[in-house]
Amino acid sequence: MIGFIAKRVFAGLVLLIAVSTGTFFLAHAAISDPTVALLGSTATQEQQAALAAELGLDKPLLVQFRDWAAGAVTGDLGNSWRNFRPVGEQIALRVPVTLSVVSFAILISAIFGTAFGLVAGLHPGSAFDRTIRAGTVVLFALPGFWLSLVLVIWFAIQLRWFPAVGYVAPTVSIGGWIRSITLPAVALALGAIVMIAEQLRNQVIAVSSQDYVRTLRSRGLSDFRVNLHILRNASPAALTVIAVMFASLLSGAIVVEAIFSLPGLGQLTQSSAQIGDIPVLLGITVVSVVFVVVIYVLLDVALGWINPKVRVK
């Protein structure tokens, strides 16, 4: 099992290096002269040249990459070009907000997606199954920002159950923290729920038709125990979707955080992209990839525990 995990960690490191390198060069290619955005269009060429020298932009691109990579390996992601504060410090302040929303969304998705998918798969063709499949089509057709606005209008403005905007840290109030992240998490989770439910439903139907399931039923096992066996053998599909949804929800957090005015990584990404703050964008990319790699390693470990056959791959 240790060798299995080591292979997955190594693959994650390769992915981190590849994505970070690609992002560095693509960002510099897309943002040719960030000094214009930082100083404004009225800045003189002398002022732009002075800022470029201060930021190290007058060096060859490969030298800039070498300096950035050397710092990133030691945990130093450089300083922001906007306020000259350490990138790591700014990200550390934003990560808890985004992780709170995304983790809560994953929890909601896993619970409801598994429950809906299992029930629909055990009763294919039923009214519940048809409702889940219709809901999948509808939720995929509706834009995420529209669903977020509907949630705000219904539950924040009309019912006043949750705040419309803002974030409360758990150190300030646990209840306020839960209320502040509920609507953003639900907005992110709606699409993931139907995705997990649809995949799990299909796997449950496939597993239920296997010979060993009929054998278990013929031996007199209760429906509960048989369903546990079905769920365990169908769960890899759901776990894979959950891991994929984590990466998707991280990117979706940009829109949700803008709508709910949450001071997370999404808001920082948006503001940094507007002015071409490449060090911050690179830092967010590295941190996001690390989170995704950790999730996929945990997924592989979970799949290896459920099905030992995958450990030999």
**pLDDT, tens only, 161-208:** 888 888 888 888 898 899 988 988 888 888 788 888 888 888 888 888
pLDDT at 306 (0 to 100): 63
Least confident segment among 112-126, 190-204, 239-253, 298-312? 298-312
pLDDT at 150 (0 to 100): 82
Residue type at 194 in one-letter notation: V
- Other C-beta atoms lying within 10 Å of the C-beta of residue 53: 11
Per-residue pLDDT tens digits for 120-157 = 888 888 888 888 788 777 777 776 677 778 888 888 88
Whole-number Cα distances in Å, 219 to 101, 214, 226, 232, 306: 45, 9, 11, 19, 24
Per-residue pLDDT tens digits for 116-130 = 888 888 888 888 888
Q: Does the pLDDT of residue 41 top 70, yes or no?
A: no
User: What is the token pair recorded at 223?
Assistant: 């429906």
Please, which contacts does 9-16 make with residues 24 or more away whose CB atoms are closer than 8 Å? 9/293, 9/297, 12/293, 12/294, 12/296, 12/297, 13/293, 15/289, 15/293, 16/286, 16/289, 16/290, 16/293
Q: Give the contacts of 64 (CB within 8 A, at least 6 positions apart).
A: 28, 56, 57
Q: How far is CA 29 from the centre of its chain?
A: 26
Q: Return the higher-pLDDT residue of 304 and 51.
A: 51
pLDDT at 4 (0 to 100): 66
Q: What percent of the chain has pLDDT over 90?
A: 1
Closest CA to 140 of 90, 189, 178, 191: 191
Using the 8-state DSSP alphabet, how is residue 263 labeled? -
User: What is the token pair recorded at 77?
Assistant: 């992601």
Q: How far is CA 64 from the centre of its chain?
A: 29
Give the three-state DSSP class for 86: strand
Per-residue pLDDT band at 312 (split at 50, 70, 90): very low
Chain-wide mean pLDDT for the chain? Answer: 81
Cα torsion angle, 252, 256, 257, 258, sign = positive
CB-based burial, 134-152: b 16+ in 10 Å, e otherwise: ebbeebeeeebeebbeebb
